[in-house]
C-alpha cells in the first residue's frame, strides 16, 4: 500500500483532496497530518473518517522530530503539502505565525523527506501546494504564467513565495523530487467563514452587514475547490518532476459583481425578493496592500496534462450557496467555537 502524507487535510482544500484520494485510490494509505488550528476541522471529513485507507495524525509540521518519526513510522513515500496559515487579513495582523508555519513548517517537512528518502528517491515526490498570490498583482490586462517573476506583497504571499523557493532549493541542491502548483481563489463547501464567499453567504442569511473592502473593484479568478483537488490529483500522478503548474478557472470577477451574484442566489433560495439583501452592502476601509487583480493562465496544465475546470461558475456558486444553507449546523459549530472545544478535548497532545 502506497503511503501518502497529506498535510493540512482538515482544512478547506485539504479535506476535499483527502476525500478524493481516499475514495479514488483504495490501494493508497492516506495519512492526514494536521495540528487543527482554528481552520482545521475534522467535521469536514466525517463521511470518510472510518475508511480503512485513511488515518488522521495530529502533528504540527514545525515539530521536526515528530514529523521525522511520522515519515519513518508510516514509511511515507510521497507528500502533498497544504498545511498553512492561509488568510491574508490575519497575516497583516500577525506575520510571525505565517513565517513560522508557512516557511519553517515547509522546511521541516522538506528536511524530514530528505532524511527519510535520501539515497532512494525512486517513486518519491514532494508536492507543494501554493498560490497565485506569489506573482503579485496584475493591472487590467495580462495573466500570470509559470514563468512570471515572483512579486509578493502581503506577509501571507511573502511566506508562500519563500516556501516555494525552499522547495525548489531542495530539488536543485539535494535532488529531492518536487513539484509545485500555484492556484487561484478557491470556493466551495467546508471553507472557513473568514473568507469572502462563506462569510458573505452566512452574513446574508443572518441579515448582517457585508463589509466590502475599498470600492469592491479588486478582481479574483475563482475556481471550484473540487476542480482544484482534481488538478492536484492529475499533477501528482502525471506532472513532470521539478516543474511548476498554474491552476485557475479563467473566471474573473470583481468583488462587487460576485457579491451581487451571491446576494441574488441566497435571496432566491431563501424565498426573499431577489436583490433585497443588497442593502447589507457596507463599504469599509480597504485591506492594506490590497492586490488589485489576479488572473491565472492554466494553459500549460490543460495542454500537457489535459486538466480543465469542470463546472461553470453559475453552477458552482449555486451548489455552494445550497451547501451552506443545508449545512447550518457546520457553520454554527464554527461561529459558536463549539468545534474547537470538541477537538481540543478529543486530541489532547
Active site residues: 132-133, 156
182 is a site residue for ligand DAU (CB under 6 A): no
Decide whether 30 or 83 has the Cβ nearer to ligand NAD: 83
Least separation in angstroms between CB 171 and ligand DAU: 22
255 is a site residue for ligand DAU (CB under 6 A): yes
Dihedral over Cα of 322, 84, 17, 329: its sign: negative
Decide whether 68 or 254 has the Cβ nearer to ligand DAU: 254
Nearest to 32 by CA among 173, 23, 49, 47: 49
3-state secondary structure of 246: strand
- Binding partner of residue 234 among ligand DAU, ligand NAD, none, CB under 5 to 8 Å per kind? none
- Binding partner of residue 196 among ligand DAU, ligand NAD, none, CB under 5 to 8 Å per kind? ligand DAU
Decide whether 11 or 239 has the Cβ nearer to ligand DAU: 11
86 is a site residue for ligand DAU (CB under 6 A): yes
- Under the rule (CB under 6 A), what is the footprint of ligand NAD? 7-8, 10-14, 34-37, 39-40, 60-62, 82-84, 86, 101, 105, 129, 131, 160, 183, 185-186, 192
Lookup: cell for 65: 522530530
Q: How far apart are the C-alpha atoms of 228 and 249, rounded to whole Å?
A: 9
Binder to ligand DAU among 78, 184, 189, 244 (CB under 6 A)? Answer: 184
Distances in whole angstroms, Cα of residue 18 to Cα of each of 21, 79, 296, 299 = 5, 12, 24, 26
Say if strands 219-224 and 252-254 run parallel, antiparallel, or are unpaired.
Answer: antiparallel
128 is a site residue for ligand DAU (CB under 6 A): no
* Residue 59 DSSP class: -
- Binding partner of residue 34 among ligand NAD, ligand DAU, none, CB under 5 to 8 Å per kind? ligand NAD
Binder to ligand DAU among 294, 324, 330, 339 (CB under 6 A)? Answer: 294
- Binding partner of residue 83 among ligand NAD, ligand DAU, none, CB under 5 to 8 Å per kind? ligand NAD
Least separation in angstroms between CB 5 and ligand NAD: 11
Q: What are phi and psi of 299, to 5 degrees?
A: -60, -40
3-state secondary structure of 250: coil
Task: Quickly count: other Cβ atoms within 10 Å of residue 308's Cβ.
Answer: 12
Q: How far apart are the C-alpha atoms of 202 and 224, rounded to whole Å?
A: 18
- Binding partner of residue 116 among ligand DAU, ligand NAD, none, CB under 5 to 8 Å per kind? none
Q: How far apart are the C-alpha atoms of 57 and 337, rounded to whole Å?
A: 22
Site string for ligand DAU, 188-217 (x = CB under 6 A): -------xx--x-----------xxx----
Residues 6 or more apart whose Cβ sits within 8 Å of residue 204: 210, 262, 263, 266, 267, 277, 280
Binding residues for ligand DAU (CB under 6 A):
86-88, 131-133, 184-185, 195-196, 199, 211-213, 218, 220, 255, 287, 294
Amino acid at each position: 500500500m502506497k503511503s501518502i502524507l497529506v498535510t493540512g487535510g482538515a482544512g478547506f482544500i485539504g479535506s476535499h483532496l483527502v476525500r478524493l484520494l481516499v475514495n479514488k485510490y483504495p490501494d493508497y494509505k492516506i495519512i492526514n497530518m494536521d495540528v487543527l488550528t482554528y481552520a482545521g476541522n475534522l467535521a469536514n471529513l466525517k463521511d470518510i473518517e472510518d475508511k480503512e485507507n485513511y488515518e488522521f495524525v495530529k502533528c504540527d509540521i514545525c515539530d521536526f522530530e515528530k514529523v521525522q518519526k511520522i515519515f519513518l513510522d508510516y514509511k511515507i513515500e510521497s507528500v502533498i503539502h497544504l498545511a498553512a496559515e492561509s488568510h491574508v487579513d490575519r497575516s497583516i495582523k500577525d506575520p510571525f505565525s505565517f513565517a513560522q508555519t508557512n516557511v519553517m513548517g515547509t522546511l521541516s517537512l522538506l528536511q524530514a523527506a530528505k532524511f527519510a528518502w535520501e539515497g532512494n528517491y525512486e517513486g518519491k515526490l514532494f508536492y507543494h501546494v501554493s498560490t497565485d498570490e506569489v506573482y503579485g498583482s496584475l493591472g487590467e490586462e495580462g495573466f500570470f504564467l509559470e514563468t512570471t517573476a515572483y512579486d509578493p506583497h502581503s506577509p501571507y504571499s511573502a511566506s508562500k513565495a519563500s516556501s516555494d523557493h525552499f522547495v525548489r532549493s531542495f530539488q536543485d541542491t539535494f535532488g529531492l523530487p518536487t513539484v509545485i502548483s500555484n492556484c487561484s481563489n478557491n470556493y466551495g463547501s467546508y471553507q472557513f467563514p473568514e473568507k469572502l464567499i462563506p462569510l458573505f453567504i452566512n452574513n446574508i442569511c443572518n441579515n448582517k452587514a457585508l463589509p466590502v473592502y475599498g470600492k469592491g473593484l479588486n478582481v479574483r479568478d475563482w475556481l471550484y475547490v473540487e476542480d482544484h483537488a482534481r488538478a492536484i490529483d492529475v499533477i501528482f500522478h502525471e506532472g513532470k518532476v521539478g516543474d511548476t503548474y498554474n491552476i485557475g478557472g479563467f473566471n474573473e470577477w470583481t468583488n462587487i459583481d460576485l457579491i451581487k451574484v451571491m446576494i441574488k442566489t441566497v435571496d432566491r433560495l431563501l424565498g426573499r425578493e431577489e436583490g433585497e439583501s443588497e442593502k447589507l452592502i457596507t463599504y469599509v476601509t480597504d485591506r492594506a496592500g490590497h492586490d488589485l487583480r489576479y488572473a491565472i493562465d492554466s494553459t500549460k496544465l490543460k495542454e500537457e496534462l489535459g486538466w480543465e475546470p469542470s463546472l461553470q461558475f453559475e453552477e458552482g456558486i449555486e451548489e455552494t450557496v445550497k451547501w451552506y444553507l443545508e449545512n447550518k449546523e457546520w457553520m454554527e459549530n464554527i461561529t459558536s467555537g463549539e468545534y474547537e472545544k470538541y477537538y481540543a478535548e478529543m486530541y489532547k497532545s
